[in-house]
Every structure is written in structure tokens, then in C-alpha cells.
Amino acid sequence: MTTSHTHSQDSSRPWWSQLSGYHWFVFVVASLAWFFDCLDQRLFSLARIPALKELMPGTSQSGIQAMGKDVTALFLVGWGIGGMVFGALGDRYGRSRMLTVTVLIYSLFTGLSFFSHYYWDFALFRFLTGVGVGGVFGLAVALIAETVPAGARAGALGTLQVLSTVGNISASFIKMGIDSLEKGGSIPPNHGWRYLFLVGAVPALLVIFIQKYLREPEPWLKLKAEGRLPAGSIFSPYVALLGDKKWRSNLIIGAVIASTGVIGLWAIGEYAVDLQDVVFKQHFLSLGVDPAQVAGKVSDAKNLAFLLNMLGGAVGMSVFTWMCGVLGRRKSFVIGFSAALVVTALVYKNVTTPTQAMWMMPLMGAVQLGPLAGFSIYLPELFPSRLRSTGISFCYNLGRFAAAAGSLFSARLATDVFAKSGVPDNLRYSAITMCAIFIVGIVAVIWAPETKGQPLPED
């Protein structure tokens, strides 16, 4: 059951004008939790190769790249486990309470990554960070979806994802600042990655505001008062979802659609940085740049390409949010996944210079990140309040396990198939092959229900 304010539809007014002061507070807190979550993810993407180079001295460049994918896989597995666990706990004990716990977990273990001395403790900290990171999305989305007016829901949830790019962009600027401090001697050489993770511990301060002011949404409080919240073991919400034909169908369709986008981002898009390491270095060396200056030029070019990639992502998610409101959810996903398939494959096939990357990466960011706004909008529309956090988290985080498998598969494609076959640019062709995943998402939309203009479902 939802309260009257969540049923009221008003598409004639901009979504932001429909929010009260408390609605804005909830939106800001949930967005900050997701902002810092995305900041943590991106800091890891930027720091993993430098970290492994220091922690695994004597390992070849290809070996470092492969181990980077293995650590990413562990991070994603932790992410998936955290999402599954905290999604169910959010339905049982409350969204805001569990959001507090997840923020504390990812802040603590991100900070502890600063103290890593070996591959194994670095990998362990990243796995445990993933557990906290994984819980945030489903809780934040359920919190906003059940708090703001229905007419503002799609806009607020789409904007939540748009604002996530601010976390990604912030990570890029933080990386530039840390690089500058390292070049200036304020940070020991090759230790910049440690300070990136130290910055990632800051979100713990957000917990103060979550604990003191954030209330549980009214639909959840009503279910609690009526004694209708999931009871029994932590698996009981999953039993309830799988035991009902309608919710089971929505769970499967939502999971396949979300997994497509998550695999596309983490098992394909994230390795654009690794490819840039190789092709940018080759480019600068071919121009006769002093080898001692190449590393710095590569780093600067990668930072700028990443920033442009995130700006493109912000535009893509804004456009996708608009498409969901105008075209509906199903058509938007078909268009989004089709664009991701074509653009991502073309970018990986053709990018060879920093100049090309500066216009290609924004395009890839737009098509890869765009559908993620659709997940924020669509997933809460598939499940009832008593199971909403569980359903959202399952769909979004099942993709983490799939992306972890995809990351390992991509690594094996690069090292055991293309490299051993003598194919040049093995990372490039591994990524192009992985783009086939977008076809799966396009096919899955055939069975997806259209939820545009409908109230949040209830039993």
C-alpha cells in the first residue's frame, strides 16, 4: 500500500517543483550515498593498476592487467553479495537503517585499502568494500521511490543516476590532484593510489545525517504497523518473490535487463582505461616523446578522456530519463542497448590516439551509462513495497556476479585466446567480442512489462 501523496500523478509540473523540504532532504541524502558509492567505484578503477604494480613487483604488464581484472571480479562478487544481503535486510529492518550500515562498511574498507602491503590484503579489502557498495543502490532507490510524489518519481530516480556521474567526475579531479601532489614530491613516488583510497573513507561522515534525521518511508512504516514485513530468515523475501508468479516473472526480466547494462559497463567499459594505457603509450613513443615523459603524458590524457567519458554519461542518462517519460520504458531500453552495442564496438575497434579518445569516450559514456538511469526508474516499478528493496537489489546486483564472470571471461579471452593466437591488441578484441551481451538485453525486453504512467505496484 502506498500513501496518497505517492499515488498523485502530476505530469504537468517539473518533477523538482513537486518536492517538499523533506522530499528534497531524502533525495539529497540518498544521492550523496550513491555519489560516494560511485566515487569509491571510480577511485578503484583509477587506482587498481598502479596499486598492483607496487604490490606485485616484477610482474609483467600483461600479468598486471590480468590481475587487475581478477581483483575487479572479487570486488564485483562482494558487491553482488552485499546487494543481495542488504536488499533483503532493507525490506525487513528499514531502508534508512541499512543505508547507514552500508555506507559505514564501504567507507571503512576503502580507507583500509591505504594500508595494503600485498596482493591478497588489497584484494580482501576490495571484496569487503564491495559488500558495502553493493547494498547502497537498492536501498537508495527504494527510499526515494517510496517517499517522493508519483509525478516526481521517474525524474528524481533518473536524476539520482545522473548525479552519480558527479561522483565519477570528482574521482577524476581527485586523481589529478593526487597526481600533482605526487609529481611535486608531497606524496612518495608510486604511492598516490594509497591516498585515493584514503579519500574514499570520507563518506562515513554522511552516517551522522542519516542516523539523526532520515525517517523510514511511510509505505514501509505502514507495512510494519500491519505486521506485513518479511519474517523468518534473511532468505524469506526471496522465497516470497519466487513464490508469486507475477513477482517471479518481474524478477527474472528485471535481472536480465539490469545484468546486461552492468556487464556492459564493468566487463567492457571499465577496461577502456587499460586499453588507453597501451595505445596512448604507443602513440607518444611513435611521436618521439622522451620515454621519461611518456608516463606523465599518458596519465594526463587518460584523466581527460575519463572526465569526458563521465560528462557523456551524464548527458546519456539525462536523455534516457527523458526517453522513459516520452517513449516508455521498453522502447527506451531497446534503443539504449542497440546504441551501446554499436557505439562501444566501434570505439574499441578504432581508438588509437588521445585525440580520437577525446570525442569517442563521451559517446561511449553516453550509451553505456544511459540505461543505468532506466534501472533506477524501472526496477522499483516491478515490485511491491514489502519486497521492493529485495527485488531492486537482486536485479541490479545479480549483474555484479555476471559482470565478475564476464570480467574473468574477458581476461581469458585477452590472454588465452587472442594473445596466444597472435592477435595484436588483444584487449581491444576481447572487449569487442563482449559487446554481444547487449543483444541479450534487447531480446529480454520482449517479455518486459511496460510501467510508464502506472502507480507503484502492491499486493
Domains of the chain: 18-216+235-447 (1.20.1250.20)
Cα gap 250→437, rounded to integer Å: 20
Q: Average per-residue pLDDT in the chain?
A: 88
**Cβ neighbourhood burial of 120 (10 Å; 0-12, 13-18, 19+):** exposed
Q: Quote the pLDDT of residue 422.
A: 61
DSSP state of 189: T
Query: Could you please report the per-residue DSSP string of 241-294?
Result: HHHSHHHHHHHHHHHHHHHHHHHIIIIIGGGHHHHHHHHHHHHHHHTT--HHHH
Predicted confidence (pLDDT) per residue in 165-208, tens digit: 888 888 888 988 998 898 888 888 888 899 999 888 888 888 87
Confidence label for 442 from pLDDT (cuts 50, 70 and 90)? very high
Read off the pLDDT band of 9 (50, 70, 90).
low
* Burial class of residue 77 in the structure, from the number of CB atoms within 10 Å of its CB (0-12 exposed, 13-18 middle, 19+ buried): buried
Please state the rounded mean pLDDT for residues 12-17.
86
pLDDT classification of 17: cutoffs 50, 70, 90: very high
User: Quick one: pLDDT band at residue 164, thresholds 50, 70, 90?
Assistant: confident
Q: What is the pLDDT of residues 286-325, one digit of tens each?
A: 999 888 888 889 988 988 898 899 899 999 999 999 999 9
Region of 187 (left: φ > 0; alpha: ψ -120 to 50; beta: rest) is beta
pTM for this model (two decimals): 0.86
pLDDT of residue 5: 44
Query: What's the pLDDT tens digit per position in 91-150?
Result: 999 999 999 999 999 999 999 999 998 888 999 999 999 999 999 999 999 999 999 999
